Structure 1
Amino acid sequence: MARRKKIYEGKAKILYEGPEPGTLVQYFKDDATAFNAEKHDVIEGKGVLNNRLSEFFMSGLNAIGVPTHFIKRINMREQLIRQVEIIPLEVVVRNTAAGSMSKRLGIEEGTPLPRPIVEFYYKDDGLGDPLVTEEHIIAFGWASQQDLDDMVALALRVNDFLSGVMMAVGIKLVDFKIEIGRIWDGDYMRLVVADEISPDSCRLWDIKTGAHLDKDVFRRDLGSLTDAYTEVAKRLGVLPTNVTHPTKPTLIN
């Protein structure tokens, strides 16, 4: 098999040239990072879990008519995706105060918000991914007003879907981050959910105990990250409930 051409490597994933024009292969690494990669570790099995969980969420979104870049999972660590032009913004939806919002506004973690709040962050690790307003986004040409309206609508639909899925298995969706990309079909452009959706990009709390089941386990040294992610996968039916070695999960098709 010919060696694939690497297109891009990020903190948690590698993108390779896909088998057909307009496609890429997305490879999930075991790397865990926090605080803009100031904290870093390699956690065996993390990439396998995130690949399978992201497949679960992206497939679910596709099924309800929310467009994503996801085509299919190829193997334990790779999935076939559509090549998109990523808008340089992280779109964050918050249902409960936590993390940077609590620090920034002095709101106690766990405080329910009166409605989902959508925030935009400029994607630049060197700047620490700063919070930006719609005025900044339009002024600097990162997205148009129509793009922003469509991005907010997409993000809120993702929020409705994820909140319902998680609540059904006893997990509170506190907040999450998505990236959105443009796909061109001639002169016609549409926006799709891109990157990944996994416990790396969501803040998830057990409804009964408040236990963290997301990357805060790594950020705040709260225990085993793989155990937390495996618990999410088990509850969603991605892993069988009798898994005894979470660092090397057995996936079901």
Structure 2
Amino acid sequence: MNRRRRIYEGKAKIIFEGPETGTYIQFFKDDTTAFNARKHAVIEGKGVLNNRISEYIFSRLERIGIPTHFIKRLNMREQLIHAVEIIPLEVVVRNVAAGSLAKRFGLEEGMPLPHTVVEFYYKKDSLNDPMVSEEHILAFGWATPQELEEIMAHAVRINDFLSGLFLGAGIQLVDFKMEFGRMWENDMMQVVLADEISPDSARLWDMQTGNKLDKDRFRQDLGGLVEAYQEVARRLGILNENETPRLKRPVLVK
């Protein structure tokens, strides 16, 4: 890993130069952050689980015609992906009131929304990723009208598919975050799903108990984050019952 040229390092992943032109290697770290990295811990095994869950989700989305940057999983922590130009937006799809939406509008957490809500946030850590409107996106040139239309269409379709996928596993898809990128092939550009979809980027609640199976376990000091991610993986058929990695205790990073 150290011999590769590092392209970018984020809070939970490192992007390396790929083996062929137009490819990257995406490495999943065990770092866990919340509140724009003001809270940070290293939780062994988290990256392995996110790699496998995201691989499963992206592969399923590819089968229904959603274009993504994913090519294949290389090992327990790495994926081979297409090189893309990330559009500087976080696209958040909400089905149930939770997190910042519930706080902003004084809603009771767990209240079903009248209809699915799609929000956009400008990807800028120094500004705490502010929420933006379609007018902002177009005015500042972060995406073109056609790209924004494609992103919206993909977001709605992905939400419909994943809601059914998780429902079949006894899990409610409360909300989730996506990123999209521009993938170039000669002079042709395509908007594709990028980054990851995992319990790090989605709120997932057990349908029967309401137990949280996502990163809120870390945000809210509930404990059992890796065990919750393992439960998601098992229900999706990714992990066998006996496949439980040996884990150390979380290490808080100041």
TM-score (norm 1): 0.95
**Structure 2 Cα separation of the partners of residues 138 and 127 of structure 1:** 19
Corresponding residue of 1:135 = 135
Work out which structure has the larger RCO, using CA pairs closer than 8 Å and 6 or more positions apart in sequence.
2
Deviation at residue 145 of structure 1 after TM alignment: 1.4
**Structure 2 Cα separation of the partners of residues 245 and 59 of structure 1:** 23
Deviation at residue 146 of structure 1 after TM alignment: 1.3
Corresponding residue of 1:157 = 157
Pair 1:85 & 2:73 matched: no
Corresponding residue of 1:75 = 75
**One-letter amino acid of the structure 1 residue matched with residue 84 of structure 2:** V
> What do you get for the CA RMSD once the two structures are aligned?
1.3
1:146–1:221 CA distance, 2 compared to 1 (3 A): same
**Structure 2 Cα separation of the partners of residues 29 and 245 of structure 1:** 16
Deviation at residue 107 of structure 1 after TM alignment: 1.1
Corresponding residue of 1:41 = 41
Corresponding residue of 1:210 = 210
**One-letter amino acid of the structure 2 residue matched with residue 197 of structure 1:** I
1:115–1:246 CA distance, 2 compared to 1 (3 A): farther
1:232–1:246 CA distance, 2 compared to 1 (3 A): farther
**One-letter amino acid of the structure 2 residue matched with residue 54 of structure 1:** S
Pair 1:26 & 2:26 matched: yes
Corresponding residue of 2:103 = 103
**Structure 1 Cα separation of the partners of residues 166 and 103 of structure 2:** 25
1:13–1:244 CA distance, 2 compared to 1 (3 A): closer
Deviations 1:22-66 (A, max 9, x none): 000000000000000000000000000000001000000111110
Corresponding residue of 2:10 = 10
* Structure 2: stretches of 5+ with no match in the other structure: 249-254
TM-score (norm 2): 0.95
Aligned residues: percent identity? 67
**Structure 1 Cα separation of the partners of residues 126 and 3 of structure 2:** 32
Pair 1:115 & 2:124 matched: no
**One-letter amino acid of the structure 1 residue matched with residue 41 of structure 2:** D
**Structure 1 Cα separation of the partners of residues 27 and 21 of structure 2:** 18
* Structure 1: stretches of 5+ with no match in the other structure: 249-253
Does the Cα contact within 8 Å between 2:45 and 2:245 map onto a contact in 1? no
Corresponding residue of 2:186 = 186
Give secondary structure in 2 for the equivalent of 1:110.
coil
Give secondary structure in 2 for the equivalent of 1:33.
strand
**Structure 2 Cα separation of the partners of residues 104 and 21 of structure 1:** 44
**Structure 1 Cα separation of the partners of residues 68 and 243 of structure 2:** 30
Deviation at residue 246 of structure 1 after TM alignment: 5.7
The count of residues paired between Structure 1 and Structure 2 equals: 248
Corresponding residue of 1:251 = none
Corresponding residue of 2:252 = none
Give secondary structure in 1 for the equivalent of 2:88.
strand
